[in-house]
A and B are shown apart, each in its own frame.
Chain A
Amino acid sequence: MSDATARATRHAGVTDRSTLLGALMLAPAIVYIVALVGIPFLLAIGLSLSNATVGDPGFHTFVGFKNFERVLNDPAFPVALRNSILVTLATLVITIILATAESELFARNFRFKRFWQIIIILPWAMPVSLAAVNWLWLLDSQFSPVDWILVKTGLLGPGGVWGPARHLYYYGREWLGLGSLTLINVWRLLPLATIIVLAGRTSIPHEVFEQAQVDGAGFFRVLFRITVPALMPILVVVTMFTALMVFGDMALIAMTTHGGPGHSTQLIPYLAYVKGVEGGALSEGAAVALFMFPILLAAAIGALRFASRSESN
């Protein structure tokens, strides 16, 4: 009897009954997720129905839907909801177009590919809050090099198309602020999106492209007739990851616009943070945060149905 079989017989009691082994292997993850996602999720619902504060975090009083009512009556909430949806959708559209284009480049072989890979993965390697600080300085109200270039090219400053001011004040205006948030999100999520699209792009069989070339199809024809349809299922995965990363993030806004001026660039997650932690109203913060779940759920179900339909086609 070999060493392996000897050990196998000794362990046979537990490990050959695969259902028991299956349960044992699954249990730690389930227990962990129930304890730190499941129960807190229920607690979040409980919190939103109570009047807990940071100073008094117990669930002493049940107040029903009062917190939700208060949130819905808060003029900041609809603005935050609109902004969250707009920034997420804009980021998604731009990221998916750019990621598809970028994957078209990186699916080829070219010189010093590793070097270019390191360059384009850079934004993803930067921890979010440091990236936000980086962009805060890049689009600074006084010393932004972008403004400097615009002034030098005559677009900004006295006599420029964009007015006599020498600065655009990116984080101090509603639409420019939201646009900047979108741009930073695209910048930081493009590397991951490109990697995921490339996973789909490089698994399309070569013969498909070779055949198209034999048939004399041009680059754009191949792209829209062959590549993009074949990428559909993976684009759904990209959509879900990107949407989640943008919709749930508050680090960018916490470092840059702080939701201002006023609440004009406010986003849902930051509103929850401002109310729950900085304002001390745990219950109201939880109510704001809970509004995210149905939106994410609906988006996920939509994306998955779309994916299963395009897969069966």
Chain B
Amino acid sequence: MNLAIKKRLRRLGFWLGMLFFAAFAIFPTVWMLISAFKQNADLYNAANNPFLFNLPPTLKHITFLFTNTDFSVFLWNSVLIGVMVVIITLLLAVPAAYSLSRLVGRWGERSGIAVFLVYLIPPTLLFLPLYQVISLLRAANTIWALVLVYPTITVPFCTWLLLGFFKSMPREMEEAALIDGYSRWQAFLKVSLPLAWPGIATCVVFAFALSLSDYIYAASFVSETASRPLNSGVPTALIRGDIYFWQSLMAAAAIVTIPLAIGYGLLFDKLIQGFQPEAAS
């Protein structure tokens, strides 16, 4: 009897906690979705219940987003930048992490902290000199400026993450491959790489997410509308001086966020594994 009550209380506590966290996470998005479909007369009437449609919902502001702004251009730029940053990050970080963990001796294994220190230099410290480098390369106002600089954020992070994976792998497996006549390079490709894949998957998600999230580089290096990504493009297109196109802003955020949340959410358990190098081997 006592035990049954205790069990029920625990269940109640669990679901109350879950509801609290879910409500905290989703409340801004709910407000965003309601706003996106509202008519002006409904949205800007302080007497209305803001959570209800006091006038019929409208798709006008979503159409406006696609027909009167460069939203689709920003979307395309962001995807293009994200994909290229992911590729560059993997090409640089995966071999570097493997090399540090296996090939360059003792100091390489201990370099995790050094790699992390690079990550400690925030974009807000580097954007002024990088602005000069970008102008020197005549890359300002192109998406290439961002493709070039975003790996400064993603490479240290991914190298650090993958270093843990390669370090925790048993050396015997590679040694067995070497004895079987594989070269070092082949052993890396065929033995170590497949084992590190939860880490690599996490790197892909992170590199994409970080490149999509950056604001300071996007705002300072690109002022040409046609080259802007979402993060800087959407606010500049829809906040004109003191005039905020709220419904379209909310629609833009929803169109970007909801598919990404579903994608990241389905990878939730994989992301957890990405921070668990010991569990992979």
Binding site for B on A (CB under 8 A): 2, 4-5, 7-8, 11-12, 15-16, 18-19, 21-23, 25-26, 28-30, 32-33, 36-37, 39-41, 43-44, 46-47, 57, 98, 101-102, 104-105, 108, 110, 114, 116-131, 133-135, 137-138, 142-143, 145, 148, 187, 190-191, 195-196, 198-200, 202-203, 219, 234, 237, 240, 244, 247-251, 254-255, 268-269, 272-273, 276-277, 282, 285-286, 289-290, 292-293, 296-297, 300, 304
Contacts and interface: CB of A to CB of B under 8 A. Distances in A.
Best-surrounded residue of B17, B31, B215 (most CB of chain A within 10 A): B215
18 contacts: A15-B186, A16-B184, A36-B133, A40-B133, A120-B21, A121-B25, A125-B257, A125-B264, A125-B265, A244-B119, A248-B123, A249-B124, A272-B125, A285-B128, A293-B120, A293-B125, A297-B117, A300-B116
A199 B272 contact: yes
Interface in B152-200: 152, 155-156, 159, 180-186
B21 A36 contact: no
B57 interface: no
Nearest to B233: A129
Q: Sort A-B residue pairs by CB-CB distance and give the 5 closest, nearest first.
A: A22-B103, A248-B122, A118-B265, A43-B129, A251-B215
B226 interface: no
A244 B92 contact: no
B155 A32 contact: yes
Nearest to B93: A29
Nearest to A33: B118
Contacts of B279: 203
Given A127-B213, A129-B231, A25 B266 contact: no
Given A57-B135, A195-B271, A21 B124 contact: no
A135 B266 contact: no
B219 A47 contact: no
Nearest to B43: A143
A219 B127 CA distance: 48
A214 to B, nearest CB: 15
A128 B185 contact: no
B174 to A, nearest CB: 10
B232 to A, nearest CB: 7
Given A23-B99, A118-B262, A187-B28, 6 more contacts: A57-B135, A116-B22, A122-B29, A203-B276, A244-B122, A251-B215
A29 B128 contact: no
Contacts of A46: 129
B31 A138 contact: yes
A289 B124 contact: yes
Contacts of B32: 134, 137
B95 A25 contact: yes
A127 B184 CA distance: 40
Given A33-B155, A129-B231, A187-B28, A118 B99 contact: no
A307 B211 CA distance: 29
A23 B230 contact: no
B122 A247 contact: yes
B39 interface: no
Contacts of A21: 99, 103, 184-185
A20 to B, nearest CB: 9
B139 to A, nearest CB: 12
Interface in B50-68: 50-51
B72 interface: no
Contact of A4 (B104, B123, B181, B268): B181
A286 B125 CA distance: 7
Contact of A286 (B10, B27, B128): B128
Contacts of A25: 95-96, 98-99, 103
A121 B120 contact: no
A122 B124 contact: no
A36 B152 contact: yes
A127 B231 contact: yes
Contacts of B129: 39-41, 43-44, 46-47, 286
Given A8-B182, A43-B129, A300-B117, A254 B219 contact: yes
Contacts of A195: 268, 271-272, 275
Contact of B17 (A57, A101, A254, A255): A101
A11 B180 CA distance: 15
B268 A40 contact: no
B220 interface: yes
Nearest to B132: A57
Given A202-B272, A203-B279, A28 B103 contact: no
Contacts of B92: 28-29, 32
B222 interface: no
B253 interface: yes
Interface string B69-82: 00000000000000
Nearest to A54: B131
B52 to A, nearest CB: 11
A143 B152 contact: no
